[in-house]
């Protein structure tokens, strides 16, 4: 029963069935090693879940430190197309009304959240969300992009 819950939690943490299975094996091995050393685990499920979370965090940190081989590649067609698209979007943003442009820049480039904007501007969050939706719609119209919704 514990393994089923452990696997489900591992899948949520890794979003990959193979990585989840690897994490479960790591945790089970760690528990067996602890028991071989004479440790008694009173509540195995919470212990396993904590060990799983720690193992997933360690794996994530390890993967973030490793430089992927693709990062050292030569620029490809996709990179050029993305750069072109970005410059087009920025050009379309320059033609938006100043308030829309400022709002989009703060959210998209500065990473300011709508709730932070609402506090800064002393308006309700819903107002910011409406303004953002209208600004995005104007940007889509300017770029000739159809709305997904």
For the chain, domain boundaries: 2-68, 78-143
DSSP string of the chain?
Answer: -HHHHHHHHHHHHHS-HHHHHHHHHHHHHHHHHHHHTT---SSHHHHHHHHHHHHHHHHHHHHHHSPPGGGGSPP-HHHHHHHHHHHHHHHHHHTS-HHHHHHHHHHHTS---HHHHHHHHTS-HHHHHHHHHHHHHHHHHHHTPPP--
Contact assessment for residue 20 and residue 5, using Cβ atoms and an 8 Å cutoff: no
Q: Give the integer Cα–Cα distance in Å for 140 and 3.
A: 48
Mean pLDDT of the region 9-16:
87
Q: Are 100 and 138 within 8 A, CB to CB? A: yes
| pLDDT tens-digit map of 78-132 | 777 778 778 888 888 888 999 999 998 888 888 889 999 999 899 999 999 999 9
Contact 14, 35 (CB under 8 A): no
Task: Answer yes or no: CATH 1.10.10.10 is held by domain 78-143.
Answer: yes
Q: What is the pLDDT of residues 72-90, one digit of tens each?
A: 556 566 777 778 778 888 8
Q: Which two tokens stand for residue 28?
A: 């089970």
pLDDT for 128: 93
Nearest to 93 by CA among 81, 104, 82: 104
């Amino acid at each position: 029963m514990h393994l089923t819950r452990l696997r489900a939690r591992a899948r949520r943490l890794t979003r990959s069935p193979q990585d989840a299975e690897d994490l479960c094996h790591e945790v089970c091995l760690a528990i067996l090693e602890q028991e071989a050393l004479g440790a008694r685990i009173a509540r195995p499920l919470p212990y396993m879940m904590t060990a799983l979370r720690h193992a997933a965090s360690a794996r994530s940190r390890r993967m973030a430190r490793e430089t992927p081989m693709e990062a050292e590649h030569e620029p490809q067609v996709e990179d050029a197309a993305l750069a072109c698209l970005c410059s087009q979007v920025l050009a379309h943003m320059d033609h938006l009304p100043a308030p829309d442009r400022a709002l989009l820049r703060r959210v998209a480039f500065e990473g300011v959240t709508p709730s932070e904007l609402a506090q800064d501007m002393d308006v309700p969050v819903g107002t910011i969300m409406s303004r953002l939706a209208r600004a995005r719609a104007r940007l889509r119209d300017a770029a000739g992009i159809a709305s997904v919704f």
